[in-house]
Amino acid sequence: MSLRKLFRELYHGHSSRAVRFQLAVLGIDLAVIAFFIAAPIFHDTRSFFWLDSTIAALLPLDMIGRGLASPPGIRPLLKPTVWVDAFILLTLIFPRTLGNLGFLRIIRLWSLSRSGFLWRPLKPLHLEQWQEACHSVINLVTFLFIVTGFVYSFFFRSDAGLSGYVDALYFTVATVTTTGFGDILLPVVGGKLIAIATMIIGITLFVLLAQALIRPTKVLFPCPRCALQRHDPDAVYCKACGEILAIPDEGD
């Protein structure tokens, strides 16, 4: 078996070996994302350097493995998820130069979700009907921690550690939910503009999440001819093959 076929089977296969590999990689990915979220709290500790260096060594290996598992050509390199990983790698290799942009590493959570790798090992659990709602939750969580990291890096860095990070998270959640307690405010005009943008984007993500939970834009209904899984709730014909569908109403 060639190296490319091996990695394609490991990353995209359904054998027991492939599922174990995918679960192991997924576990490492989630641990790395947890590190990215907590990094501002212990950024100045000695352990941070070693963890940061370890991830900087592991991420290229994962990128190479995913590249070998992808079809040959330049098209896979143009995917947004690849560019996200490349940017994260740069922040890991040059922590002093790009240290203030480290909060953007949390985008890897969105990248992991959109790449499909987050859901592939969970297919045996038959959770496909919740995938759209989970995408919306991940989008919201990613946005919350990006804003929190930005606010902490540029407004609360003088109050380093857990206290400053909690203040940044508290401000972000209060702003996104439009609660507006007003006990923590960002100074100057730039801070007010950030609060306005956070409220607008946050409300939009909340609406999308509610829509995904109450009435998803796509429903899970396999086409009897071509097996296309997701269709519009009011679809009469399969958009892939034209087969007549009989999607039940919500009350059926």
| b (16+ CB within 10 A) / e for 144-153 | bbbbbbbbbb
Distance CA 239, CA 250 (A): 21
- Domain count for the chain, please give it: 3
170 and 213, same domain (yes or no) = yes
Question: What predicted TM-score, i.e. pTM, was given to this entire model?
Answer: 0.72
4 and 112, same domain (yes or no) = yes
62 and 105, same domain (yes or no) = yes
- Predicted pLDDT at 252: 43
Domain that holds residue 190: 127-217
Residue 44, Cα to own-chain centre: how many angstroms? 26
143 and 87, same domain (yes or no) = no
7 and 116, same domain (yes or no) = yes
Q: What are the tokens at 84? A: 């996200």
115 and 138, same domain (yes or no) = no
152 and 59, same domain (yes or no) = no
Per-residue pLDDT of the chain (252 residues; tens, 9 = 90+): 578 888 888 888 878 888 888 888 888 888 888 888 887 777 777 777 888 888 888 888 888 888 888 877 777 777 888 888 888 888 888 877 776 677 788 888 888 877 777 777 666 666 666 677 777 888 888 899 988 888 888 887 666 677 888 888 999 998 888 887 778 888 878 888 888 888 898 888 888 777 777 666 676 777 887 877 777 777 888 888 888 888 776 544
95 and 198, same domain (yes or no) = no
Q: What are the tokens at 199? A: 């409220």
10 and 111, same domain (yes or no) = yes
In three-state secondary structure terms, 113 is helix
10 and 114, same domain (yes or no) = yes
